[in-house]
Amino acid sequence: MYNTMEKEETLLVIVPGKNTPYGDCVYYILIAETGETLASHFCSGPGFAYGDLYSNRPERIKEWEGKLGSIKVKYIDETDISIDQIKERNKKWNESLNQQNYDTN
């Protein structure tokens, strides 16, 4: 339980996509709890993903902090969340998004 006066940080995770033959790939940044995809970027290596997706993007930081409050960003392998767990969360989020779109049409 956390202090209701202070909101917990929202954890965002950086997740690699499928590698190309050259070792680069698309990286995604997702809300860990829900699996919502916030952004993606094609990076030449994992070391660039943090800056390309988050730290070098002040407009994203401002937008996401406005939406989510305090944020913490980690690579998925720095968390106790497995790739399978985040994929399942993302699948459920996409299904709910698709249902919302279906309901409005």
- Collapse the DSSP code of 72 into the 3-class scheme (helix H, G, I; strand E, B; otherwise coil) and give the result: strand
Distance of alpha carbon 105 from alpha carbon 102, whole angstroms: 5
Among 18, 55, 61, 12, which Cα is nearest to 37's? 12
pTM, to two decimals: 0.83
Encode 53-70: b = buried (16+ Cβ within 10 Å), e = exposed: bbeebeebeeebeeebee
User: Would the pLDDT of 105 be above 50?
Assistant: yes
Both structure tokens of 58: 């002040």
Which is nearest to 52 in space by CA: 66, 22, 60? Answer: 60
Structural domain boundaries of the chain?
Answer: 10-104
Q: What is the pLDDT of residue 3?
A: 40
3-state secondary structure at position 73: strand
pLDDT classification of 24: cutoffs 50, 70, 90: confident
